[in-house]
Amino acid sequence: MRSGLGVKAARIAIVVALFAIWEILSRTGIVNPRLLPSASDTLATLGDLLQRASVRKDLAVTASEVVTAFALAVPVGALIGFLIAENRYFAEVAKPLLFFAFSIPKSIFLPMFILVFGVGFAQKVGFGFFSTIFIVIMSTTTAVESVKVEHLTVARSYGATPMQTAFRVYLPSMLPVLLEALRISMIFNLTGVILAEMYASRDGIGHQIATWGENFQMKQLLAGVVMIAAIAIAFNELVRWVETRCSHWRT
Amino acid sequence: MQPLANITPLKPAGAIEVRNVGQVFKTTTQDVVALEDVSLDVKPGRFVVLVGPSGCGKSTLLMMMAGLRQQTSGTITISGAPIPEPDPNRVGVVFQEASLFPWLTAEENVEFPLALRGIAKSDRRTRAQDALKLVGLDGFGKRHPHELSGGMKQRVSIARGLVQDPPVLLMDEPFAALDEQTRMTMGDELLRIWAATGKTVVFVTHSLTEAVYLADEVIVMSPRPGRIVDHLQVPLPRPRTYEMLSGDTFGSLRDRIWRHIRKSA
């Protein structure tokens, strides 16, 4: 999406204004600075935290959990989604069930993950996987269904092998939907892992944020929020950038 | 020495023979007879149009000639040999709208059949550009389908069908989605391309005017079970002109087709 300079400027202005309001509310004491430390203090704290070895270690733990859960959920979910989309009977049976499963808030299962996996890496990865896989399955199904029959017939009429059909028709047809799915899946994945960390964990940035909150360390807490937000936005924007590059032909 | 001369008793390239072809679709409740005892000969280089109401099996018949579907009974030969599966060296197919790959440029779309056979990139490009030139799209090769008009897209489809230089071109309602003016222009364009290449063309359409305007021969089909109810020769001279549309010959041919179709509608 191309947007004019004016629109971009307005966006930046809104973000700057939000930080300015935050700063003013805190500095003037309209909101108790103990509850809402100023934006500048928070950012300074963030810089501070990023220097700390312990925080970096927490970030590394969270990152490894997120990546593992994602790396498991995406191929498994994509495979299931593909099988469902390709088999009409399977699709008819499974689709409503998937919608049921998708509609249930995943967080209510968290205690069970703790009971089954204990507190640790497996519990967080497991819950991240569980939070992500349904959206991956459903998106893949949509992606496969976005492949046009006409295009498959064209490929067949020119003698395409199954491999050629997969790489020259299925993949490019599905790519825009898949990238979007990847992006949305990551949001679910990150939410799942961090929630699991906040609920019961010994390490990870989610655990840290929960601890700072409980100890009323507002500066650290807000710094942590800003940090996670920035990471999530950065990943999202990266995929969106790839998306626009890969789907310039979409109208 | 001419070793090839005495081992090729085959029919000339581009001949189509349809013999007693039938097609039955089995559903859970009943068998639907889509085509019944269809026989038809198309000589090389002829322009033959199939018309008939929806459900008469004209597209099905075309798909069988393309090797995309198999008949339940009877035989179909293209250039003297049966066509159990698609063979792009013998048959090029042009589909209805939206059959171009939107993620490829016009040039890449035309190259697609060549790319499947692993032909070198530079060779592919030359042949695609030649084909695009033939259909009047010189200089549009780098555009994506969404940057082309409906008529231009169908020109690209035709170029894609011609790029491997098959003797037969099968066209399944290629202009159905175009507006009236574009449709007329594309008809003239197609006739020009046909005259320049000498292909055998089998063209499926709903439009009676289009049928008579384009064809050497019009085959009229009836709905289920699909049968050939008439086979007309169009004696109008070529090149066809717009003025012929209002002539007596044109009118009486169109009326004759219409009477068949009205009976079955």
Query: Looking at the domain assignment, is residue A104 inside a domain?
Result: yes
Residue B93 has pLDDT above 90, yes or no: yes
Verify whether the Cβ–Cβ distance B95 to A154 is below 8 Å: yes
Q: CA of A90: how far to CAs of A103, A141, A146, in Å? A: 20, 12, 18
Q: Which of B116, B117, B147, B168 to mutate to test the interface with A (most CBs of A within 10 A)?
A: B116
Q: Give the DSSP per-residue string, B213-243.
A: HH-SEEEEEETTTBEEEEEEE----SS--GG
pLDDT of the residue at B174: 92
| pLDDT tens, residue order, chain A (251 aa) | 556 788 999 999 999 999 999 999 999 989 898 889 999 999 999 999 999 999 999 999 999 999 999 999 999 998 999 888 888 888 888 888 888 888 899 889 999 999 999 998 999 999 999 999 999 999 998 888 889 999 999 999 999 999 999 999 998 998 888 888 888 999 999 999 999 999 988 899 999 999 999 999 999 999 999 999 999 999 889 888 888 877 766 65
Q: Are B22 and B69 in contact (CB under 8 A)?
A: no
Domain membership of residue A145 as a residue range: 37-246
Number of domains in chain A: 2
Query: Looking at residue A148, what DSSP letter applies?
Result: -
A window 157-176, beta carbon within 8 A of B: 157-161, 164, 168-169, 172-173, 175
d(CA B96, CA B171) in angstroms, rounded, equals 8
Q: Which of B65, B68, B103, B110 to mutate to test the interface with A (most CBs of A within 10 A)?
A: B103
d(CA A94, CA A83) in angstroms, rounded, equals 11
* Cβ neighbours, 10 Å, residue A162: 9
Cβ-based contacts of A173 with chain B (< 8 Å): 103
By mean pLDDT, which of A94-98, A228-232, B5-9, B167-171 is the weakest? B5-9
Q: Are A239 and A59 in contact (CB under 8 A)?
A: no
The identity of residue A182, as a single letter, is L
Output the domain CATH number for residue A237. 1.10.3720.10
pLDDT of the residue at A175: 87
Q: Are B164 and B10 in contact (CB under 8 A)?
A: no
Q: Are B173 and B142 in contact (CB under 8 A)?
A: no
* Percentage of chain B exceeding pLDDT 90: 71
d(CA A78, CA A135) in angstroms, rounded, equals 10
d(CA B212, CA B252) in angstroms, rounded, equals 10
Among candidates A38, A10, A8, A44, which has minimal Cα distance to A25?
A38
Give the CATH superfamily of B10-35+46-90+170-265. P-loop containing nucleotide triphosphate hydrolases (3.40.50.300)
Cβ density class B34-61: b for 16+ within 10 Å, e for less: bbbebebebebbbbbbbbbbebbbbbbb
pLDDT of the residue at A178: 86
- B59-90, pLDDT tens digit by residue? 999 999 999 999 999 999 999 999 999 999 99
Verify whether the Cβ–Cβ distance A151 to B101 is below 8 Å: yes
In this structure, the answer to whether residues A30 and A41 fall within a common structural domain is: no
The H-assigned helical ranges of chain B are 58-65, 106-116, 121-134, 150-162, 180-197, 208-214, 248-264
In this structure, the answer to whether residues A18 and A70 fall within a common structural domain is: no
A150 touches chain B (CB under 8 A): yes
Q: Where are the domains of chain B?
A: 10-35+46-90+170-265, 97-165
Residue B8 has pLDDT above 50, yes or no: no
In this structure, the answer to whether residues A178 and A93 fall within a common structural domain is: yes
Q: Give the DSSP per-residue string, A29-97.
A: TSS-TTTS--HHHHHHHHHHHHH-HHHHHHHHHHHHHHHHHHHHHHHHHHHHHHHHHH-HHHHHHHHHH
Query: Looking at the domain assignment, is residue A251 inside a domain?
Result: no
In this structure, the answer to whether residues A16 and A104 fall within a common structural domain is: no
Widest Cα–Cα separation across chain B? 62
The identity of residue B151, as a single letter, is G
A103 touches chain B (CB under 8 A): no
Query: Looking at the domain assignment, is residue A196 inside a domain?
Result: yes
Verify whether the Cβ–Cβ distance A159 to B87 is below 8 Å: yes
Please state, rounded to an integer, the average pLDDT across all residues of chain B.
90
Among candidates B59, B82, B76, B8, which has minimal Cα distance to B204?
B59
HSE (CB half, 13 Å, CA atoms) of B255? 7
3-state secondary structure of A156: helix
Listed in sequence order, the residues at least 6 apart from A47 whose beta carbon sits closer than 8 Å to its beta carbon are: none
pTM of this prediction? 0.79
Residue B9 has pLDDT above 50, yes or no: no
Cβ-based contacts of A151 with chain B (< 8 Å): 99, 101
pLDDT of the residue at B216: 94
In this structure, the answer to whether residues A63 and A110 fall within a common structural domain is: yes
In this structure, the answer to whether residues A91 and A126 fall within a common structural domain is: yes
Residue B103 has pLDDT above 80, yes or no: yes
In this structure, the answer to whether residues A211 and A123 fall within a common structural domain is: yes
The angle at the Cα of A65, spanning A63 to A71, to the nearest 5 degrees, equals 100
